[in-house]
Each structure stands twice: as structure tokens, then as C-alpha cells.
Amino acid sequence: MLGKIEDTEEQAAFRKEFREWLIGELGSAWIDAVDRGDEDSFEKAKNDANWNFLTWMTTIGRSPYAAPLWPKEYGGLSGEPWMQQVIRSELSNYRLPIFGANLLGVGLAGPTIIEHGTEEQKKRYLSKILSGEEIWCQLFSEPGSGSDLASLATRAVRDGDEWVVNGQKVWTTIAQFAKFGMLLARTDPDAPKHDGLTYFILDMKTPGVDVRPLKQLTGSSEFNEVFFTDVRIPDENRVGNVGDGWRCARTTLMNERSALSGISLDPVSIFGGTRRDPWQTFLDSLPNKSDPVARQQIARMYIESEVKEITNFRANAARMRGAQPGPEGSVNKVFNAEYNQRKSSFAINANGMNGVAWLPDDKEPEARTQTFLRARAATIEGGTSEVLRNQMAERILGLPRDPDVDKGVPWTEIKRN
């Protein structure tokens, strides 16, 4: 068994507390079976517990463990970031989803509402985000505005107590299932691009919202185009002040980077084997276990996985000192996205012909290839690696900023693609 980073006393106590909660919810047979690596007993315990994804989302969502960083009064633990890491590692260890169906709600919308929303908005939305009753999506990117998000063109025009929205978003993940969307729209086209934006909560069932799924490389339709035609949003659904949308959006984006930086492809899902020691199991499963190149690559990926964990702890410690996640979220996001691509490419290569062709009922290589194809998106979603590297260069290394030709220029006068 390869070594692991040791818990501090406080972390070990919290891990024990969370594991006891898991035993209470799932039964000790489940936990014992995983601890012993006994697959048959695990399957039986899972059947006996009558486990299903949606019920589980509600169970963990009603506990304080779904969002340990949220304040206690809104259903969290007012906890420290390492707690989130401990919870995720326990969930992964005991074969439970690290993120629920409402990743964008818990990871992005919730923290934005907590930071910028009114008391009424906090009361109305936060508990249903946690319980998974109301799924959220993020309506930011547009066909001409992705990396340069602040140049977006979707318009919101005030009409009494309402706003009338027209325009188009794209790449909107899970919009087809979402109850609410975080919408960034232009409310003042004459102001410079960052200053003329306002942030809204949009009920996705409002007349005039048209969601059209897009087919991806993997064959599934994870994201969508969303069109708005005279969509009316009550002013009470505005988050922050009129014109303050960029500040609110930055909270969403910073949290997105930290949420995505925690996602690492689980070695079991790409390499197969058991969770007790997936790296060793994978090495053992290779046709030529003593192949020095493969051994070296596995050792390298293992080391990278440990470095990533330590960097996450460091980023978490930095977050504890300040209110907002900082540029270290970008470091982790870039690293994790590229690491996931390396890991899934290695798994495909190491499996030879089985990496590209398989019999119809052979689910393992199919899932592995899906993972490999999906990993291509990792360096684009949540900010591309190129753009995040620019941010690291400017904010961490102190290099000169890219020239900003749009600074102070009204949005109507800037060049857009």
C-alpha cells in the first residue's frame, strides 16, 4: 500500500465524526465491507441499504456535510476548507458521489447568494439548493463571449418592477434539468464592459426561455444553448446592485475554479480494480508488470496525485486567511484538468487495442473511453488553461498585465467577435 498524507489530530477526529454519520445513514455492513475490500459483501450491503442517488442527495443535503463551508445558519458547518477535503475523500472511499446533481447550485450559486444576496433570497433558495430539490445552472457564456466574458451581449432592460431579457447563452451545463439559472446580463450598454452588467436569478420555466441541448463528442448532451425572447424577471430576483454584476460574477467564477479544482478523476473509474489500492491494482493488471516505462508513469501520476492533495490543503489554508478563494484556485484548476487528461490518456494507451475497440456488452473499456473523451473539456470549462495561466502570471508572479484596449471604453464602442 502506498503511503498517504497523515491527518492531524483535529482532522482525524472530524474524519471519525463523519464516518460515524455515514455508518448511521448507510449501516456498518457497508463501511466494514469497503474497509475489508470485500466486494460481495459491499454489493449486498448496498442492496440492503436500498441506496439510490436521488435519495442520497437529499440525505446528505439535509446534513451539514453537503456544504461544510457554508455558514451554520444556512445549513453548513461554518467550517474550514480542509473539512471539505476530508468529506470528499471519505465519500470517494466509501463509493459515494463526491458531488451531487446540484454541483453548480452548491458550488457556485449558493456561495454567490450568501455573499451578495438579500436575506429573502438566502431564505428562499439556499436550503433547496442543498437538498437538491432545485437544480441550478450557470447562464454566463455566449457565442461571442467566453474567455472575454465581460463583453457579453444578452440585454436586460428595466420595465417597472421587472426586467425584460433578450439574447442567447451557450454551453449551459444541465440547463435542461435546472429550475433556476445564474444569469449575467447587460443592463447599461453605454458603460465600459465590466460596469454595465447585472446579476439575476432566472426561473428557467419563465415564458420566453428556450433550452436546446447540444450533442457532445461523448455522444451525450451535457450542455445546451439557451435563448431568451422577452423573458420577464422580477427585480426581487436581482442579486447585488444594478451594474454590480461583474463583482457578483467574480464570486461565482472564483468558486467555480475551486469547485472544479477539487474534481480529480478517480483512478478506479479509469483504471478499474478496487479502491483499497487502485494504483497498485492497476500496475498488477498490466500485461507486463515489470515494464519500466509504465511503472515510471504510474509512479509519476501517483506523486502528482499527492502533490495535488497537498496543494489543495495549501490553497484551503490560504482561503482560511481571506474571505474569497484566490488565484491558487486557478493553479489547482489548471493542474487538475491537465492531470486528468494525462491519466485518462495513459489508461487508454496502456489497454492497447481494448482502448479503442470493445465488444458491445463490455462496459469497462466503454466507460474508460467516455472518461478519456470527456477529459478534453476539462482544460476549457470553468476558464481555459491559457487564460488561467495569464491570471497566474499577473496575480501570482506579478508579470505585466495584458494590454486592455477596452479599458474605459463604452461597451457599444468596443470590438467584439
CB of 334 to ligand FAD, least distance (A): 11
Whether the CB-CB separation of 378 and 340 falls below 8 Å is answered with: yes
Smaller CB separation from ligand FAD, 300 or 401: 401
- Hey, which residues between 318 and 377 contact ligand FAD (CB under 6 A)? 377
Q: How far is CA 237 from the centre of its chain?
A: 24
User: Whole-number minimum distance, CB 402 to ligand FAD, in Å?
Assistant: 6
* Binding to ligand FAD, residues 125-184 (CB under 6 A): 137-138, 140-141, 146-147, 171-173
Shortest spacing between CB 208 and ligand FAD, in angstroms: 19
Q: Name the residue nearer to ligand FAD (CB basis): 333 or 368.
A: 333
Q: Which is nearer to ligand FAD, 59 or 216 (CB)?
A: 216
- According to the binding rule CB under 6 A, does residue 383 interact with ligand FAD? yes
Based on the number of CB atoms within 10 Å of its own CB, is 92 exposed (0-12), middle (13-18) or buried (19 or more)? Answer: middle
Q: d(Cα 229, Cα 341) in Å, to the nearest integer?
A: 39
Task: Name beta bridge partners: 252.
Answer: none
Which residues, 26 to 55, sit near ligand FAD by CB under 6 A? none
Within residues 281-310, the interface with ligand FAD by CB under 6 A covers none
Backbone angles phi, psi at 325, to 5 degrees: -65, 135
- Only one of the segments 23-31, 150-158, 342-350, 384-392 lies at the binding site for ligand FAD (rule: CB under 6 A); that segment is 384-392
Size of the site for ligand FAD (CB under 6 A): 18
Residue 359 to residues 282, 354, 366, Cα–Cα distance (Å): 21, 9, 9
By CB atoms closer than 10 A (0-12, 13-18, 19+), residue 270 is: buried
Q: Decide whether 26 or 178 has the Cβ nearer to ligand FAD.
A: 178
Q: Which is nearer to ligand FAD, 141 or 264 (CB)?
A: 141
Shortest distance, position 236 Cβ to ligand FAD, whole Å? 23
Q: What is the DSSP string of 268-329?
A: HHHH-S-SSSHHHHHHHHSSSTT-HHHHHHHHHHHHHHHHHHHHHHHHHHHHHHSSS--THH
* Shortest distance in whole angstroms from residue 375 CB to ligand FAD: 10
Under a CB-based contact definition with an 8 Å cutoff, are residues 131 and 140 in contact? no
Contacts with ligand FAD by CB under 6 A lie at 137-138, 140-141, 146-147, 171-173, 223, 377, 380-381, 383-384, 386-387, 390
